[in-house]
Structure 1
């Protein structure tokens, strides 16, 4: 069976090629892709700004945010069947190495594979994809494929607050830095958990969006002293929860200044590859609790249930500002790169039987 599939050969060299799909192994499923989102990490790999995409090994198929339909299952598959709408995990742990047996994060797996970033784990930028059963999750029939593509993104923001021992409830005031797709997901998760939510972003349209998706207050960090603005909204006590979802150096540095005493800090935004000067002493004097969030662990099914519970309140499909057919892949990538202020989520769509 043939599939038209995208391959990133090197920075700025993304090609659609026709390939012959390998026969299914007993534990695999064949999925016809219905939608695939373009993530900021896809853009960084395309531009050569991230080492996460491993085209240095061989050309690979991007796309870790996807939704599709199963068309065939391997002989050993028992929990999935043809016709199901599905999505899947991004980071795929082997389950048998020492780190996996110790219960560490999938990103700690000594044999880790990562859908959409490596030649051995092709992503959703293609007509079809093959994935092992244990990494595939059924989504409700009334979901669009594009909403299925949001599961991976939402899980990052959701896990960022609740994973690794994190928690948030109606007693909390949370500050979310960054109204990108992960930040808006964290905003929805925080508000649904009952917290008072303050969102910080310099872009007016992003702040307006945050107010529609759960923020009680929005702050422009360029409009004045950020700590003074946050103190005014928290009666001087500062937030009890901070989720940094922007990856911005200035935002990261400001965390320690604005945090309230005993604040639970969740670092979600990517900042690997550079050093950020911070006033670390506040960690001691404010008794701050810092939690890194490198991906998710066992949150696929939980994320789908959470999104199902809030989808009538928050319109996920409305977050997809730009849709492109797969044959317009390069135009879609150009939009994601050059129209960051207005292109909130660029979504590829595929004709599906």
Structure 2
């Protein structure tokens, strides 16, 4: 192992550079991993563009990346006592929560009440340096043993798969429910699979373009937003009743309005997409139809729960991988990700 490594450094919004920087050293209860695969997330694209100024990241320069897999090459103090060893294959997630606040104690570490406080919380690739590099340090709370049957590339999609399972669970899907997913991106398609895992009898994906075509190829019912009013289309598919649950995975103000209007009386919308613009919402049906709207942030324990479903093919993470790039071509990878005509769904970067 050399003393320096390649790393993607965002110097300022939309200005990228590959630099040689020192290899980090793992601290107590941390590991150093050789990163083998990183998946580009929509949050990465927004962060690099500067859409969350002063929050994600707190400042520039910054190294993004948080959906990854690799193998352990060095152990920090105490990591061995917790069962980890050099050579272990792992998949990583971003939230390194404090572990002691009320939300962490209750298992909702994604809502850590010490979020962003130095020394208490890190979110790798968001508020703390990420994994778009040859090596990365992670706390043992944020790594999960990887079965041999899952490749590094597939494992780099386990973090978004866990987010998709979390939003499905936040939707409180009951056996036999009709579920609509708004947004046919990677999280939307993984959420559609997760809805089936949670017991949905029917899953309808709302979107457009090649991503919606992928949803159809995966066997889901589809509604194309280019063909007219998607709310009317969902109503027509459900005998006028609407969906029991909608999983809002697009993060666009218009799609949240659609999602709420697609619900059956007493229905529930779980929202994981994060709009970057103001949202206008008709709240009368929220009251009169006793609708529910809940947020869904990252995941909280679903990394372990989703892995068996990725391994047995019920959550089809590997099917969503469309492109591969070396880290040195990250700008091209990002441009491909942002190009809605490229055919990209999940892009894997190899440091």
- TM-score, normalised with respect to structure 2: 0.91
Match of 2:291 among 288, 303, 311: 288
Task: State the partner residue of 1:206.
Answer: 211
Task: Give the deviation of 1:341 after TM superposition.
Answer: 5.2
State the 1:128 CA deviation: 0.4
What secondary structure does 1:287 align onto?
coil
Partner of 2:311: 308
Counterparts in 2 of 1:55 and 1:176: CA distance versus 1, 3 Å: closer
* Deviations, residues 146-190 of structure 1 (Å, cap 9, x unaligned): 111111111111100114xx4324320001000101101101111
What is the CA–CA distance in structure 2 between the aligned matches of 1:339 and 1:258, rounded to whole Å? 26
Structure 1 runs, 4 residues or longer, greater than 6 Å off: none
Partner of 2:180: 175
Q: Does 1:327 align with 2:328?
A: yes
Match of 1:192 in 2: 197
Q: Is the 8 A contact 1:8 1:55 kept in 2?
A: no
Q: 1:297 aligns with which of 279, 295, 300?
A: 300
Specify every segment of 5 or more residues in structure 2 that has no aligned partner in the other structure, as ranges.
Answer: none
Distance 2:148 2:173 in 1: 30
Contact preservation (8 Å) 1:65, 1:151 = yes
Q: 1:114 aligns with which of 123, 147, 165?
A: 123
Kindly state the Cα deviation for residue 289 of structure 1 after the two structures are TM-superposed: 1.7
- Would you say the 8 A contact 2:190–2:315 is kept in 1? no
Change (3 A) 1:172 1:2: same
In the alignment, the residues of structure 1 paired with residue 329 and residue 55 of structure 2 have an alpha-carbon distance, to the nearest angstrom, of 21
Query: 1:173, 1:291 → 2: CA distance?
Result: 18
Q: Is the 8 A contact 1:267 1:292 kept in 2?
A: yes
Aligned length: 341
For the aligned residues, what is the CA RMSD? Answer: 2.0
Aligned to 1:10: 12
1:118-197 equivalences in 2 (<5 Å):
118=127, 121-163=128-170, 166-195=171-200, 196-197=202-203
Q: Could you say what secondary structure the match of 1:68 adopts?
A: strand
**Displacement of 1:207:** 1.8
Per the TM alignment, residue 62 of structure 1 is displaced from its structure 2 partner at its CA by: 0.7
Residue 212 to residue 21, structure 1, CA distance change in 2 (3 Å): same
